[in-house]
Structure formats: C-alpha cells, structure tokens
Structure 1
Amino acid sequence: MEKQIIPLVYDEDMLKLHHSIYVHCDMTSNPHLAIQGVTGTGKTYLVKQILARIGLYLPTSKITVCDFKGDDSFIFLEDCDRYHRFVDCMNGFNEFYDSFIKRQTRMNTDRNLHILLFDEWGSFLNYLDKKQAEEYRKKLSIILMLGRSFNYHILLAQQRLSAEDFPKVRDNFNNIITLGNPSKEVIGMFYSDIREQIQNDRGLGTGYMLTNGTDFRKIVVPTVTNMAKVEHYIKRAVEYGT
C-alpha cells in the first residue's frame, strides 16, 4: 500500500524559530487519530482542517461523518448520504462498519482510504442502553485492531478520552492530540512518563501530540484563511463514490 501522508498541525518548537513546519501523519502506518479537549479549545476547527487535507491530498478517499453533537459545524453536509447527526449516528456507524466487513471478507476489493469521523463518541455511548453501547464498543475495537490492513481509519473527537469509552485507548490510537491544558487525569493516562514537560500554558489552538505512545511534541493548530475551501474538500470526500 502506498504511503498516504497528510499534514496535521504545526510543530510549536519550530514555529518559535520562525519555521512553519508541519507534523505529518502517514495513514498507512499510523491509522487512527483521537482529539480531546474541553469546549472552546478548537477541536472542531482542527477536525475540519484534517478532513479537508484528506480530501485534498488523498482525492479518492471516502469520509463518513457521524456528528452526534449535531450543531451547525457540519451543516454544509446535511444533504450528503455519508453525513449523520445525533440518533442517526447509529445508522452511520453501522454502514461504515458493514462496508469495512465487506472489504475484510473480500466482497469489496477496493483499497481506497475510508475514514470515519465520530464527534462525541462518549456522549453517544451514554445515550445508548448498556447492551447497545457494548455492541458499538466491540465494533469500534474490531475496526481499530484490523482497519489499517484494509485502509479503514477512525478519527474521534471528544472532550476527554477515557478507558471506559475506549479500552486500551493509548495503544489503539496511533496519534492522540490534546488541545488546551490537560487535566490531572489526562496527564496520568497519557503523559505520566513525561509529565514534567506538561505546562499550564496552553491556549486556544495549542496543545500536545503523542504518536505511538512515545513521540511527544507541542503543537499549534494552523489558521484557516478560507473556510469555504476547507468545507469544499470535506464535502467532496463525503460525496465521493455516492
């Protein structure tokens, strides 16, 4: 499988040296990404940039959006078949999972990238009854463990990643971005080995990135100058192949 590289965020240390150097992600080797941060830290702003870069740099990619929060951030997708909000996220996730199973069982021989954005997965699980929630956790775990080989990827965004919502979250997500100042619980869960590098100085659009559990860096979210263009590339990937 060819490399599928996209730019994610700026390296803050390089920015301080007046070099706008991106931290890149190769989706073939680091397939799953989780973004956490309290309200107002810029999660959705970053998510939209990442989705747009997938649409731009990997033009045959497919994106499925499950927007449980359901505010106006993705309203430009409301007529797209692979956009789902609130309760309909159940259908959206199941459709994504079923298409993964078809590829895994060779009913579908395509190998183009297909990524699921799920905004507020934890809130979604809390909405479901216990049996349903466990079913969706199991399906997500299967995709996290097997998805890379079939070019199926997960992008999750929520206020705080927890072991309850994501068993072995640090092991299953190759890239974890924390925006804003992490809580003591988050530091203990993700940054316990490097807690001396965590400072209470993170503002809007800044944070930390951990890759493969060991590669740590301070990051800055780039500024968007043309949001219409960002939304164009997202919509193109959400509609691709429909």
Structure 2
Amino acid sequence: MKQNALTNIINKNSDWHEVVYPQRKNKLLKYFLVLFILMLTIFFVKVSNAIPPLIIDIPVIHGYMSFNGFVDLLIIVFWAVSIYKSIRFYFNFVKDRKSWIANNLAYMIDTLKLYDEDYFEVIKEDRVVKEKRIVRVIRISYNESEKYIYVRIMRDGDRFTKEATNLDENLEATLGMELETTNITVNYVEYTFLKYKDERINLASEISKSNGSDEIRITGNISYELHKVVHSLVVGGTGSGKSFFILGKIVSYLNLSPQADLRIVDPKKADLSLLRFVTGFEEKVATEANQICKMLREVVELMERRYSEYFDNVSAFGKTYRDFNLPVVIVIFDEFSAFMHSVDKKIAKEALDYVFQIVMKGRQAGVMIEILMQRPSADDLPTNIRAQMGFKAGLGAMDSIGYNMIFDTNNVEYKTVTEKGGGYIQLDGIHTAPVYFETPYIDKDFDFIAEIEKLMKNQQMADISHVAGVEYENTI
C-alpha cells in the first residue's frame, strides 16, 4: 500500500517521470523497420523491372550510358537515400522516447547494483534450471524545468531507503550537473540540480537595471525580494571579499525605489565609517559605543512610531511597510563580535536588546539589520537572534563548525572555497540548505564613494522636486 501511495505522489504531477529498469527493448519497432526496408527494396526492384528497355545512349564523361542504366542508377540512389532516411528516423524516434536523464539514471542503477535479485526455477529444454531475475529496484523519478532538474529517490522502507540519502555525489557525476539543494522527507529524498552553471553577475550592469522593485540580485540564479527575506548575517575573514560584497549591497539598497534609509555601525572605524563624509550620511554613521547604542535606540523608536502611525487599526491587517510606500530602514552593523568584546557588559547588553527588538519586530515595519562578522561565534550572536536571519552567507574558506554555526545545519558536505568572493548562502523561502555562490563581480575601477554620492544626490533632487510639487499644489 505504501508503494501505491508513493506512486500516486508521482502521478499527481504528469511532469514527473519514473525511471524504468531494466529498460524495456521494443523489438517490434526493429521488426517494423526491417519489414519497411524489405518492402521498399521490392518496390524499387519492381519499378526498375517495369521500365521497358530503350536503346538510347546518354553521353557521359569519356563515353556513353544506356538510358535504362541511367534510370537504374537513379533508382539505386533513391533507394539508398530512402533507406538512410528511414534508419535515421528510427534512431531519432527511439532517442526522443528515451530521455538522456532516464538513460543516465538507469545506468547509475546498473553500475551501483541498486536492485535485488533472486533465483527462480524454470523449465528449459525439458529440464528444471535456476534463473536469476530482478525482483526489486530502487525507485527513481525525475522532473525537468527551465533551470533545474529534480530527482526523487523514493523511500519504501527497503534497503534502498538509506541509500536514498547518500546518492548526491553519484547523481552529480551521473547528470554532470552541480547539486543545488537536497530535501529529505518521509517518503522520498529530492535532489535539485542546476542545468546551467550559475553566473557571476557584474555589479555595475545590475545597477543600471533598476525596475522599481525591491529585488536584490546576488548571482545569475539567486535573487530575493527584500521584504520577504529580512535581516542578514554575513561572515567572512580577511581576504574573503566580504567588504566589497557589503559595499555592493549598500549600492543596491540605495538604488531601490523608494531609496533605503541606511544606518552604518563600524566600531573598528574601517572603510564603512568613511561614508560619514558622503552627503546625506553625516548623521547616519556611528563608530563609538555611545553613538552605536544611540543609533540603535533611535531605530527602535522609529520602528515603534511606524507601528503606532500605520498599523494601529484593523485596516492595516495583512499589510507591510511597502503598502504605505515607506522606505526600508537597514542597520548595517560591521564587526559585531569586535564590538561585543570591546565594550563593557552593560553597553553590550543594551545593544543586544535593541538588536533583538529589531529582528523580532522589524519585518512588517520595514526595519532590518545586517550583521557582519569575521568569525562565527554562538557566544557573540545568540541563537534567538541568529534564527531570525533570513539571509545567511559565509564567505571564504571555513571549517564545518563555522558553517554549522551560520546555517544551523550539519548535514551538508561543504566544498573547499578557493575563489575570492566565493562562499555559501542560504535564503529563507528559497533554499532548504546552503548552496555555493560567488558574490557580484566588481571592476577594479569601480568607485564606490562616487556611486554612493551620485545615488544620494539623485534622491535629494527627487525629494526637492517632490516638496516643490506639493507646495505648488497647495497654492492652487
């Protein structure tokens, strides 16, 4: 009964195809091809014999050819072409009916012996002999979309149930594709493969593609809507590409419509602190402990004001900050661990309380936080805060303990990261497990400060135009 139920799961969606093993050979088609070729040959022979002999010589190179000989030559050519076309049509027909995915998966079943055999007594030539037959086969189905191939290994309670969770490397080699995610359920294990290698995007070209949405694109295949994936945790040591990644995200945030309201916390007074010299950021960068706590408190107060002004009656049911065209407020907190270790416990507790309020209540009001760390540490970032992070990324080489702290999972086999800007990422609602990615490519001549100044200036001009328009309307 369980097997029938699992079969029904596959059949509910006609796009899922079950791999047949051993593959059935359709001998009828071969017999039909042979019969067709034979009939075609007889037809051309009869046509040749039906032509009356004519004593006509046709001039050819260095001599003459009889008319009948010329006709016979044409018949032979037509016969050969017809036979060739028939055979080619047959093989194309057979190839189309047998998906390469099904063929490769059947080959994997065969080479890994993912089937059980038993002996049966049969009568051959008046003798009882034992014949080996396949009695049980691992059940595999697949589905193909524009970007992905999905493979499900059914868990029927037999010896293949355990095998189902350990076939990731074999499937990668069999399909020649990179594994994106693995989803383990009671009834099956689903592997998702990228049909095409993910592309590293160019930050400069992405900036020019602003379309008024709050979509943030990370790679060719990975993007997310900011209002759905709130709060971020980015971990990466020196040389991992973390700084450029964050600067790139800042540019993307400022390119949103309405433009994001950013607050920068940089207790080490590194690159991010220099944004205080950019027009519009003068009062939005904090480096000292008292400034940092003040900024966090002000953000929490802003969040509470939004709730009291926009979400204080039943008409706001199911709405978010986007329904009121409010800009998202994002606190970018660099060197979080360094800050927690460099201040006294009272200040650390105060800051942590503000961070906790933001991650717990900020989603609907459009108030978010992005925490940056060099090394993952459960002591510095409590689980109740880490669990609320919708965007998690670990950049650069890292051991499994570090990855497990970021992503709260220990059943992923991480590959060694050698590319600068490479790492693993997991987005709520998009990934069920961390996947490898590479941060957007940034040209060495790209001027972050100039780009940020331009975006801030554009917003100021838009604000001035809006105010002028309102004042003009009021005079009418």
In the alignment, what sits opposite 2:361? 146
Dislocated runs of 4+, deviation >6 Å: 107-110, 237-241
Tell me the number of residue pairs that the alignment of Structure 1 and Structure 2 aligns: 228
In the alignment, what sits opposite 2:293? 90
In the alignment, what sits opposite 1:6? 216
In the alignment, what sits opposite 1:103? 306
Could you tell me which of 315, 340, 348 is aligned with 1:125? 340
Partner AA of 1:121 in structure 2: F
- Deviation string for 1:79-128 (max 9, x for gaps)? 61112224332332222222222223338987321111110111112122
Partner AA of 2:285 in structure 1: Y
The separation in 2 between residues aligned to 1:101 and 1:50, in whole angstroms, is 26
The separation in 1 between residues aligned to 2:283 and 2:361, in whole angstroms, is 25
Q: Is the 1:66–1:93 contact (alpha carbons within 8 Å) kept by the matching residues of 2?
A: no
In the alignment, what sits opposite 2:447? 227
| TM-score of the aligned structures, taking structure 2 as reference length | 0.44
- Matched ranges for 1:1-242 at <5 A: 4-7=214-217, 9-10=218-219, 21-78=220-277, 80-87=282-289, 88-106=291-309, 111-168=326-383, 169-189=385-405, 190=407, 192-196=409-413, 198-212=414-428, 214-225=432-443, 226-228=446-448, 229-232=450-453, 235=456
- Deviation string for 1:117-167 (max 9, x for gaps)? 110111112122112211221211111011001000111111123222222
Identity %: 20
Could you tell me which runs of 5 or more consecutive residues in structure 1 were left unpaired when the two chains were aligned.
11-20
The separation in 2 between residues aligned to 1:192 and 1:40, in whole angstroms, is 25
Partner AA of 1:231 in structure 2: I
- Rate the CA distance shift 1:39–1:125 in 2: closer, same or farther, 3 A: same
In the alignment, what sits opposite 1:17? none
- Deviation string for 1:160-206 (max 9, x for gaps)? 2322222224421011110001223213322634432x012333111
The separation in 2 between residues aligned to 1:221 and 1:25, in whole angstroms, is 14
- Deviation string for 1:56-83 (max 9, x for gaps)? 1334321111111212344143361112
The separation in 2 between residues aligned to 1:202 and 1:86, in whole angstroms, is 35
The separation in 1 between residues aligned to 2:305 and 2:339, in whole angstroms, is 25
The CA RMSD measured in Å over matched residues stands at: 2.8
| TM-score of the aligned structures, taking structure 1 as reference length | 0.82
Could you tell me which runs of 5 or more consecutive residues in structure 2 were left unpaired when the two chains were aligned.
1-211, 312-323, 464-476
Partner AA of 2:257 in structure 1: L
- Deviation string for 1:196-228 (max 9, x for gaps)? 2x0123331110001237242211112223224
